[in-house]
Amino acid sequence: MLNTAVKAARKAGTIITRASFDVDKLTIRTKRQHDFVSEVDHAAEDAIISVLKDAYPDHGFLAEESGYKDKQAEFLWVIDPLDGTTNFLHGFPQYCVSIGLLHKGKPTQAVVFDPTRPEGQPRRSCDVTRMVEVLGWEPSVPLEEGLRRTVDWYRAS
């Protein structure tokens, strides 16, 4: 499943990269104050769902732009197709594709794909067991501590 999620993230990344050359021509809408959505968000989300749905037709989805699709499914993909839309729209290359998988409500796998990095550079993808092992994460750890551990792990690798 992780390889399929990486494939989906790469497909979305291609859409995002192509659009980054013509940001000024995109249709942009405001969801809330300081929260934007563009046609790129929708196109990337559609591409991700298409890849995952083809491989796993019985899985459900919770996607940032389209919401829930079959939220009672045993496997639920959680998708942010363009995590950092505001940065993307301003031309700041700090954005990514984020995809996670829940099995019976528990996170099992995740992919964070940075389409701005040259091909061949490392991306982050792992099963949650490995993430927990590396980060020392526990559900009771406060958000700030979890973020600090994540940044420290990323810098060290």
CA distance 1 to 55: 9
Check pLDDT > 90 for residue 109: no
User: Of how many residues is the chain composed?
Assistant: 157
Check pLDDT > 70 for residue 119: no
CA distance 93 to 38: 16
pTM above 0.85, yes or no: no
> What would the mean pLDDT of 22-37 be, rounded to a whole number?
61
pLDDT value of position 87: 81
H helices then E strands: how many in the chain? Answer: 5, 8
Domains and CATH numbers, the chain: 2-127 (3.30.540.10)
When the pLDDT of each residue in the chain is averaged and rounded to a whole number, the result is 76
Residue with the bigger pLDDT between 86 and 132: it is 86
Q: 19-28, 102-111, 124-133: lowest mean pLDDT where?
A: 124-133
Check pLDDT > 90 for residue 138: no
